[in-house]
Structure 1
Amino acid sequence: MQYGILSFDEVEPDISRKILHVDMDAFYASVEVRDNPKLKNKPVVIAKHPKLTGGRGIVSTCNYEARKYGIHSAMSAQEAYMRCPKAVFIQGDLNYYREISMQIREIFNEYTDLIEPVSLDEAYLDVTNNKKNMKSATIMAMEIKEEVYRRTRLTCSVGISYNKFIAKIASDYNKPNGITLVEPKDAVQFLKELSIDKFHGVGKKSLPNFHDMGIFTGKDLYEKSLDELIDNFGKMGYSLYFKVRGVHNTPVNNKRERKSIGRERTFSVFLELESQVVDNIVKLIHQVDNRHHISDMRAHTITLKIRYDNFETITRQIQSIETIESLEKSIELAKEIWKEHGHLDRTIRLLGVTFSNFDHPLYTSIKLDLD
């Protein structure tokens, strides 16, 4: 079995921790409604109006009124408009949302230093040993919710458990403005009763494969052997085998490392055709994704670096209100930069692509050169 011999620590759940997952409710849209009370009870979509973009663009988030029409994050803005023509489309202001996110982070810091932001609107908190010396994680979660609302007039939902995986699922269990506690003694039964698509990592593309194996719930997953899951799903199957048994011992990580991730290449034969430029941009993005997974980075900015044969170098970037979470989106944005700023009056000796402005802070500057 390619994943090696299991240690005791990998098999047995560490139930010594108290973990909160705090998830702001429809964060960007809620900020806009808060700031403009006229939007209350109206469907609000955070995206450029598709009439202004020729049908392009993706929904960053939307409020719960808009969700009644089946609109959701990552949906195309055009489809959102077709589902609800009366929706209010707002381009959004990432820097403003970031400021509010930092205000919320300051509240978290009053309780613990062990904070792992996942994005601007969600974070894990390890409150096992907390600054308030509070024994009850549930009472602490209630207090944090109240303080967030008092200072920002925004609501959040909180999941409470002994590990990050269950806490994250729990925060989504009673939305909006809810609290869900999953104690160790209840964890496996809680997980067995979930639909398989509630297990983070099981997405739209892999869901049919689970259904083909007769896996529709956590209970179905629990009944599959480790070998079956590895044979069919590889590393993800290995992980899910333990997660459905309540085992996920990864600690809350509050370290800050990389600020950007990129890849660049110097060409011995300079590029002189647009097709060569585009092909190499695509290759560079694939190389970044192969090593770091664009979907995990949750970057908001992509930068294209172009160095011409006379060593003139330009760097141009696009900042996206929604996180850049796919190869397709990355390639689309990089091509936009090239079309807007690149030219072939001279041949090109170097190209580089860099991702930055992460929601998740666990990155430091790194540049990977390709010989």
Structure 2
Amino acid sequence: MENSRKERITLHIDMDSFYSSVEVRDRPELKGLPVVVGSDPKAGSGRGVASTCSYEARAYGIHSGMAISKAYKLCPDAVYLRVNMKLYKEVSAEIMQTLRIFADRFQQVSVDEAYLDIGESISDYASATLLAKKIKSEVQRLHGLTCSIGVAPNKVIAKIASDFNKPDGLTIVRPEDIQDFLFPMHVSKIPGIGKKTQPILEEMGIETVGQLATCDVQLLIARFGKFGVVMHQLANGIDTREVKEREEVKSVSTEDTFDEDISDPGKIEQVFTELTEKVHTSMMKKRFRYRTVTIKVRFEDFRTYTRARTLNAATTDKEVITKNALILMEEFMGKGRFRLLGVGVTKLEKIDERQTFLSDFY
């Protein structure tokens, strides 16, 4: 019943012009205007930089990291706003919570970027494309913002792909399309190749990713040391880094994607019983008790929901997980067929080893 992992499928989600988009969302009168978020331009004498800007401002040549004085000269009539990081972090936290429910593994890398590994529950790019479209739709519906998504076999290609068709873009790079996608690009598209590395590569006659990928790696090592190997691998679309949650363990969960969508109540109860067994075994190995039971539900059309139920006290009781999962599931019964079901426990507490020993002894 549970899918075997065939290959990694990674999504990179990049919010479009995040700071300025949040400002425009909250101040609709700014829609369609060039908006620059950064330091005070002081009528062209400001010394800070533009943190980000709307796409209307980019039409004037303004970009993130540009001196605010230069931005002002390019477009003095733009709307200049100071950075409101508290607001952006609050909106970011809400968006990341939405993104998490679609991921097998999740990694936030900045206030407006995240990687999702979906290869455990989805093994084909047609389904991955549908899921990416659903994510874009949900981000727009729930948060009033657009994002661009790259879908690819690994992190570096997914990141490059998410920037390929901005704003509100979706770019799919299947394993067989890697060379056709990467090789025509300028080498500056490879992460890590910046203002210092790029001129040296150009001196070596390397301007495209394809030229870098086919260059003798020993020549690159001679000029760049170990980074020469890294550049060569990335240019060939090789990236073995996994999507990893950077936070401490806050939950234990598992899920199952079905070969055929299910709706039978008996089958659903069986699934939750089996998933609970896995969660409980993992939780006990890690020496945790829990207070909250969560479920994850994905319908056949990729609508995805999570629900949670918090207990009065922490416990290690396995049957309580199954019981509460089925109670939470009642909301969704009779509303369609299910592609995926998951169960987990959160609000974890570490079991005190001394208490365990004493209870076992007596």
Would you say same fold, with TM above 0.5?
A: yes
Q: For 1:124, what is the secondary structure of its paired residue?
A: strand
Alpha-carbon distance between aligned partners in 2 of 1:112 and 1:186, rounded to the nearest angstrom: 24
SS at match of 1:23: strand
Q: 1:116 to 1:251 in 2, by over 3 A?
A: same
Q: Does residue 106 of structure 2 align to residue 115 of structure 1?
A: yes
Tell me the equivalent position of 1:89. Answer: 80
Say if 1:84 and 1:54 are closer, same or farther in 2 by CA, change over 3 A.
closer
Match of 1:194 among 166, 185, 195: 185
Q: 1:140 is matched by which residue type in structure 2?
A: L
Give 1:234 shift. 2.0
**SS at 2:225's partner residue?**
helix
Matched, 1:185 2:176: yes
Partner letter of residue 210 of structure 1?
L
The secondary structure found in structure 2 opposite 1:73 is coil
Equivalent residue in structure 2 for 1:35, among 13, 22, 26: 26
Partner residue in 2 for 1:340: none
Paired residues of 2:105 and 2:245 also in contact (CA < 8 A) = yes
Q: Matched residues in 1 for 2:153 and 2:211: separation? A: 23
**Is 1:244 the equivalent of 2:235?**
yes
Aligned partner of 1:253 among 230, 244, 252: 244
1:144 pairs with 2:135? yes
SS class of match (1:243): helix
What secondary structure, in the 3-state scheme, does the structure 1 residue paired with 2:62 have? coil
**Residues in 2 aligned to 1:99 and 1:173: alpha-carbon distance in whole angstroms:** 27
CA contact (8 A) 2:106 2:243 kept: yes
CA contact (8 A) 1:201 1:236 kept: no
- The alignment-based identity, stated in percent, is 45
Are 1:22 and 2:13 matched, yes or no?
A: yes
Residues 1:135 and 1:216: Cα distance change in structure 2 (over 3 Å): closer
User: Where do residues 287-366 of structure 1 align in structure 2 (5 Å cutoff)?
Assistant: none
Q: 2:226 aligns with which of 209, 218, 235?
A: 235
Partners of 1:105 and 1:58 lie apart in 2 by 27
Larger radius of gyration: 2
Kindly provide the CA deviation profile for residues 226-254 of structure 1, in whole angstroms up to 9, marking residues without a partner as x: 10111112222110111122211110011
**Equivalent position of 2:148 in the other structure:** 157
Partner residue of 1:214?
A: 205
Task: Please give the root-mean-square deviation of Cα atoms over the aligned residues, in Å.
Answer: 2.2
Normalising by structure 1, report the TM-score. Answer: 0.62
| Corresponding residue number in structure 1 for 2:97 | 106
CA distance in 1, matches of 2:143, 2:204: 46
Contact 1:192/1:244 (8 A) holds in 2:
yes
Secondary structure of the corresponding residue to residue 136 of structure 1: helix
Q: Distance in 2 between matches of 1:42 and 1:49?
A: 18
Match of 1:60, SS? strand
The Cα shift of 1:39 comes to 1.1
Structure 1: runs of 5+ lacking an equivalent = 1-13, 258-371
- Matching residue of 2:347: none
Q: Which residue number corresponds to residue 286 of structure 2?
A: none
Pairwise CA distance, 1:176: 0.6
Match of 1:71 in 2: 62
For the residue of structure 2 that corresponds to 1:99, the secondary structure is helix
SS of 1:165's partner is helix
Select 2:160's aligned residue among 145, 162, 169: 169
Q: CA deviation at 1:205?
A: 2.4
In structure 2, the gaps of 5 or more residues are 249-362
Q: Summarize deviations over 1:187-220 as a string: whole Å, max 9, x none.
A: 1221111111111111122211111111111121
How many angstroms apart in 2 are the aligned matches of 1:255 and 1:41? 37
Q: Supply the distance in 1 between the matched residues of 2:169 and 2:125 (Cα, whole angstroms).
A: 20
Q: Partners of 1:113 and 1:256 in 2: how far apart?
A: 15
Cα shift at 1:225: 0.8
Give the Cα–Cα distance (whole angstroms) in 2 for the partners of residues 255 and 119 of structure 1.
12
Structure 1 distance, partners of 2:37, 2:6, is 39
Shift of 1:157: 0.3
Deviations 1:249-274 (A, max 9, x none): 110011227xxxxxxxxxxxxxxxxx
Q: Which runs of 4+ in 1 moved over 4 A?
A: none
Instruction: Tell me: CA distance 1:109–1:213, structure 2 relative to 1, closer, same or farther (3 Å).
Output: same
What amino acid is aligned across from residue 209 of structure 1 in structure 2?
I
Match of 2:332 in 1: none
Instruction: Supply the distance in 2 between the matched residues of 1:51 and 1:34 (Cα, whole angstroms).
Output: 25
Count of residue pairs brought into register by the alignment: 244
Give the Cα separation in 2 of the matches to 1:122 and 1:186.
24
